[in-house]
Amino acid sequence: MSAGCARWILSRTARAVCGGSQGYLTPGSRFPIPCERSNIIASSWRWSPFSTAVEDTEQTPAPKKKNKHDPKAHATINAVGRKIPHREIQVISETGENLGTMHRADVIRILDQQGLKLVLLSERKDPPTYRLMSGKQIHEEQLKLREKQKAKAAPLQVKELTFSSGIGAHDLSTKMKQVESWLEKKNHVRLTLRSGRGRPADNLDTTLEQIVQQMEMMVGFVSKPKTIRDGHAAMCILRPPSAKELSQNKKNKDETSQDDDSTSRSTESETPIPPAAGDTDATEGSIQQGSDGNKTFS
């Protein structure tokens, strides 16, 4: 074997043993020669599109997006269960009584003993406020919230109706029925009463109020009758009655009917009962006049 071949074999062996970062010794040299070529090949293979090697540098995970506060997050009522996140909380009883600040262990004991559930009312207070509720109460509150959300979601419509003060009774009755149908559909109604031709424009607001009072159904006012257009017209805005107004009206009607019944009963008790016709005849027939002129009763 020639000396050139031996040097070539030794150089290849040294490259394989030393790796990419270490150098190798050539015959006759005392200092290692860095293996630049091997480093270039290794780096080119590392960045090759066909390489499956995992990169040494760890990829930093992308920052998580912060969830924005949803104003409708607490729009529903749900029980928190036994996992109370706060150590001490303000507790409201099932009947609405303030029980003061309690430890969560005591609250859990009450839940187990009375079979109630815990509902968060306000988390911003210090301490947070919770309420003890039964399953039936939670269901009723959820139904109320759904009704409120439906009422808010539905767009409010304002219907308009204008008529003259000289309108006929039949036409006025037809228009008032139309107003009642709008109110039953939860719409607001703007009524405008204008003065007729050749008719005085006095007290149009009073006339409009009397027309509204003659309606068969109960109504509420967004704005009561008032004069507009320099007194030549009157305007008011009607709305459907609230549940509170309906209950109060029903209560007043019940009280009025009870008063009428009691008045009629008292009147009947004070009226004297006349004697029967047969009793009168018998009494008159029992009276006889004697020979001496004195009246005797048989």
First-to-last CA distance in the chain?
180
More confident residue, 83 or 69: 83
How sure is the predictor about 14, in pLDDT bands with cuts at 50, 70 and 90? low
pLDDT class of 16 with cuts at 50, 70, 90: low
Least confident range of 46-60, 63-77, 94-108, 124-138: 46-60
Ordered domains of the chain (ranges, CATH):
76-150 (3.10.20.80), 158-245 (3.30.110.10)
Q: Is the pLDDT of residue 146 over 70?
A: yes
Are 135 and 115 within 8 A, CB to CB? no
CB neighbours of residue 201 within 10 Å? 16
Task: Name, in order, each residue with C-beta under 8 angstroms of 149's C-beta and a sequence gap of 6 or more.
Answer: 75
Residue 98: CB atoms within 10 Å = 10
CA distance 48 to 272: 122
Give yes or no for residue 3 having a pLDDT over 60.
Answer: yes
pLDDT at position 293: 52
Average pLDDT over residues 74-103: 85
Q: What is the pTM of this model?
A: 0.41
Give, as one character, the DSSP assignment of residue 293. S
What whole-number distance in Å separates Cα of residue 121 and Cα of residue 124?
Answer: 9
